[in-house]
Amino acid sequence: MKQRNLGKSGLLVSEVGLGCNNFGSRLDMAGTRAVVAAALDLGITFFDTADVYARPHPGRSEEYLGTVLGADRKRIVLASKFGGAMPEGRGGSRRWVMRAVEDSLRRLRTDWIDLYQFHRPDPSTPLEETVRAMQDLVTQGKVRYIGISNFAPWQVADAVWTARHLGGAGLISCQDEYSVLSRDPDSGQLEAMQHYGLGLLPYFPLASGMLTGKYRREALPNQGTRLVSSPLLRDHFLTDANLAMVEKLQAFCDARGHTMVELAFSWLLARPCVASVIAGASNRAQLEQNVAATGWQLTPEDLSEIDAISPPPPRMVHV
């Protein structure tokens, strides 16, 4: 498994990361243990979770991951997030940040978190207050690096400059939804990341299953699948426009002897700033598929043809 620097930092992460949202929800403890063991065996070293993961049981993902890692904790880069709604609190206030990190450390059974990320902006708290609290966690040794998630381009710039103004640890990463079907970061987010030297950690790389090849207009999966059974995900991904693009992308892959999963991962790894592609998995076979999918070297001509099928959003123009 190849490693990449996360942004301009010295932190190395595996090109394929493991999203841990399934732990404690779709996977019980035995299933979590099997997936973690398989990921380590395949060379995956970047594990991403959050305090809110495993709804309707927030905190359980961290608990399961902390339980099964044991001595393997030192082998991985462990990332978590704060800011989402927990039973005890939410947001970016200093009071909550200090409480949230202690709770996550306890659940994860570790003394430090390698990458601690502000899950989403909190309009009720001054950004300076949140960033200062995160920087203090680095000074205290509870956190090694800090990042943000789900920030708009202007908010990325604001966060970077706030950290620089305060003079403590700088931000090194952004985590955002990004795939060949969901290209919002191409409207200005990637430019901001490149300018400030931030690494991108894309989630939903398979567009919640749309890029696995199993969703076709003429034969949609049954209600048992996560995408079809979740109204929120269905409305977001399962649209006529996306189904039309999937058909064309499938033909693109078929003509070159590759799979849709290979396209999804290799396209992301060819994009600027991308350090590790975060994907969940429920078994070893899915992990093996994800790891194997990184080997397709897309040519400039391939990338241009993909852009014609799935165009990037209009870029903001300032006049």
Are the C-beta atoms of 188 and 157 separated by less than 8 Å? no
User: Residue 144 belongs to what H/E stretch?
Assistant: strand 143-149
Phi, psi of 204 (to 5 degrees): 55, 45
User: Residue 278 belongs to what H/E stretch?
Assistant: strand 277-280
Are the C-beta atoms of 66 and 109 separated by less than 8 Å? yes
User: Residue 69 belongs to what H/E stretch?
Assistant: helix 60-69
d(CA 200, CA 151): 12
**What sign results for the dihedral spanned by CA atoms 228, 186, 157, 7?**
positive
Residues 6 or more apart whose CB falls under 8 angstroms from that of 192 comprise 153, 156, 157, 198
Complete DSSP assignment for 171-217: EEEEEEE--SS--GGGGTHHHHHHHHT-EEEEE-TTGGGGGGT--BT
Q: Which residue has the tokens 């710039």?
A: 157
Active site residues: 53
